Chains A and B, each alone.
Chain A
Amino acid sequence: MNRYPLWKYVTIVVALLIATLYTLPNFFGEAPAVQVSSGKATIKVDLSMVSRVEQVLAQQGLAAEAIQFDGNSVKARFASTDLQIKARDAIDHALNTDPTNPGHVVALNLLPRTPAWLQSFGAAPMYLGLDLRGGVHFMLQVDMPGALVKRAEAMAGDVRSALREKNLRAIVRREGQALDIRLRDAESLAASSQLLQTQFNDWVFTESAAEGEFRLTARLKPEGARAIQEQALKQNINTLNNRINELGVAEPVIQQQGQDRIVVQLPGVQDTAKAKDILGRTATLEVRMVEAHGQPGARDYNPARLQEAEQGLVPPGTELIYSTRDGRKEPLLLSREVVFSGENLTGADASIDQQNSSSVVSVTLDGKGGAAMRAVTRDGIKRRMAVVLIEKGRPEVLTAPTIQSELSNRFQITGMNSPQEATDLALLMRAGSLAAPMEIIEERTIGPSLGAENIAKGFNSVIGGFIVIAIFMCVYYMLFGVFSSIALSVNLLLLVAVLSMLQATLTLPGIAAMALALGMAIDSNVLINERIREELRNGAAPQSAIAAGYDHAWDTILDSNITTLIAGVALLAFGTGPVRGFAVVHCIGILTSMFSAVFFSRGLVNLWYGRQKKLKSVSIGTVWKPAASPSQAD
């Protein structure tokens, strides 16, 4: 009765093999590495960077263990920190020819030393949380009402121009997140209502006419508001991504949390003041007028003045900036006065112009931006205006188109060479603006020494407890105790394997949960062993005692694990931060313990005792019988 069919043993062996495979990466440790990523929104790191880095390293005679490209950055792994630092300097020198204006971030990092054959299985070590590796954690609250107000502001401008086009006179005012539109008479009210309803699908318009006042109230539809909030969050995450690039962090985490929050984690960063400064910056996009340029055909064509400026005679109130569009370096003398900034930008999207099917970027501004735009373009036809992106306090001209007509809050930038260029420009323009203001509502910092200490402490707790439990089990339950201890270590193996597979973040509370899971997992084995002893005490034959012990204990094990799992799931559902880290490990630990403590340990027992037909006794420690019968020791 204590025999497993072959498939059960096969299942056990396969499970153990897979678990070992995925646990292995955790033992290889980390190797010093150099990570190259883009330092500017205008520069992209792609596959060609791998050969570039290889080339630089070959020139300097520095040997990298491995160079890989992961989609955003190139990482090179080295045997020693000495090599790492030399390589960093060499790569930095080669890539950033102008040290005052670096285009690439060359950062020191640690990479798992996982061998390639393991990586090919997708095996990777557990992902360590900030409390174990050190770094900064921010939680930012996005001001969603602010985003909606901003949208309403932009809408006010749209409504005004739409009504003006049809010669409908109206006073448009923003009240909170809604618009109040006042009209002269009932006819214009009806006409406007009709017009606006067909033009703006996202809004609801309600008419009210009382005491000689003809009003139209516009409100954003709930689904429209939701879309705006989603977009605002997305854009803010995007912008944060670009800004954090400036910090040169190896692996920043920027994630949405809930509906209106963003979590930013910067491993290894210690300078929180700088990080905060960069996160909190409001606008990094500016649109400014060109005072002098070298392109014939447009106004202010003035090579002489430009040349003077290039020689150092920059007139007051202006600034000389180079545009690097299409790879050409074009000097431009820009006014220091800002027409509008990223704050006024509500949208920038790549699209196709219907008339000549060329690629364009459609820009939308809020009311303020639209008014400013109208003011400068009215008298500025054929002048050029520059879109400037400021990164690391360094302005860079994205494009400097020529104004073709009077513009307001919606206009297009034409003359894109390809759809890709249009997409890039739209992305860069959006990158320079926050869709809604943000506020830091939580901040945590953990020094690297504290992180290493936490790992050691957590690890010692698990190992210390494990050893004592294993010794006790072996002494108390003899061979069955050995089986239980092996099952317990299998549980640990499975737990680590699953965590590595899921790439769940391991935190200190997570390690605590691991220790607790082991302490609780042994419960199942104690239940089984006690049951077997009891069956023996009641006079059952060894083989049937084992079978009955496992069978009877199973119900209890299932019950108790389900109740524990209920608590675990609740923690997972309602917990955030450290509690979540605890809950993930807790829940996985319960599930793996069911496999190891029952299925696996039974397998061991069956393998050992199952084939012995005339089994006289089992080694499960002293089974004491209350009657005077001799005790059955082994």
Chain B
Amino acid sequence: MTALHDLTIAEAAPLLKAKKLSPVELTASYLSRIEAFDGQLNAYIRVLPEQAMAAARKAEGEIMKGGYKGPLHGVPIGLKDIYNTKGIATTGHSALYKDHVPEEDATTTRLLAEAGTILLGKLSTWEFAIGGTSFDLPWPPAKNPWNLAHDPAGSSSGSGAAIAAGLAMGSMGTDTGGSIRGPAAWCGISGLKPTYGLVSRRGILPLSFSLDHGGPMCWTSEDCALMMEVLAQHDPLDPGSADVAKPDFAGSLQKDVKGLRIGVIRHFFESDAETDPEIKAGIEAALVTFRELGCEVVDVTLSPLSAYGDAATLISRSEAFAFHEETLKATPELYGELARQRIMMGAFVRACDYVNALRERGRLIAEIATVFESVDVLICPTMPGVAPKLGDLGNMMSRSRPSFTRVFNLTGSPALSVCSGFSAAGLPLNMQIVGRPFQDDLVLRVGSAFEKATAFRDLRPAPWVQQALAAE
């Protein structure tokens, strides 16, 4: 039988519904695994054992009485520690917010609780979702479960690491420039940055108002779809929230991908940004799989990667500085070095540059919409390489690093990272699947079809457990 921590949400849900699996047993199993292994992994900032067990007992009682709420009922999850949790510290992994205890839940926190999820704890992040990988913060950075010497990427580092290591069944990350998809890529899991406006940002600590997205991170795209069923709700308290009909996530997964047109943004990884041969080979192999599934594959051309990077960087730094300016001046010592330096750059963007970046943003959104008239989804890598050693990420400020992910924060498009295989060193390879606005269900369908057509979801990062045990 599959170990409890290797069950996906889609596998556990029918067992929970049929009362063959107890939420109490499931939660206790996750808590004991966190207790045993998270000392090495640092995925959690704060574990909530009593609260989690109380919620599990409540869920069990409800299910036993016939009050099953749906596929997330009784499912243990973790939240990146920038999601507000009423009465529980939400730190942003920063000394500045060490004692920040919100008076209300983020809208997403509430929706997940109402769906019956069990909150195991708060997950580590780059400081305020921008400063990392850092070693000068009150908590250590998370490590990569596939190899503890490697970086899990950020900023939703704990969210990615916990899922890959089997320390949560689902998690929430946030993504301003790739912070869901990067950790999903390097941790070998599935992570969705939804369409801008589809998931509420209310009560999530802001980094850049117009580029921030909250979204699910799970072992499979199917599980992300189950999370999205609950998360995709209009929220009048979020001025960017879209008042649209919810995509049919469950229904979409029942359909195949035959006949879909896939656009490959080949110049992104062939000429715009240096990309590892193993990543490129993973993409080519994935395209073969998609052709076998009946998809048509064509190359498409967008503006160069740097055009997206320029506009996104000017916007994100300006918006971040606007939020952090006062505390950055008053108490700079409460920030880690990387967050301080990166946010500070916003001081040097002029108002006219910001507005012109927004105008450029309008042009790039229109451009991608035109490309989407002839294809259903776009494909390119998520990250140009596999996870480097922990501490080798560097500052990332003094080097020009075109990003494959930031493109779709700028356009607001739904973008999913999936595992596209493994490197010779045993680290996950990655691929990004992008869709038209509010076609998140189609993006997840394509991701899920790929995962089911390949065997990459069968391989779990067992070695990290052996490493952890050896270190005992």
Q: Do A and B come from one complex?
A: no
Which residues of B approach A to under 8 Å, CB–CB? Answer: none
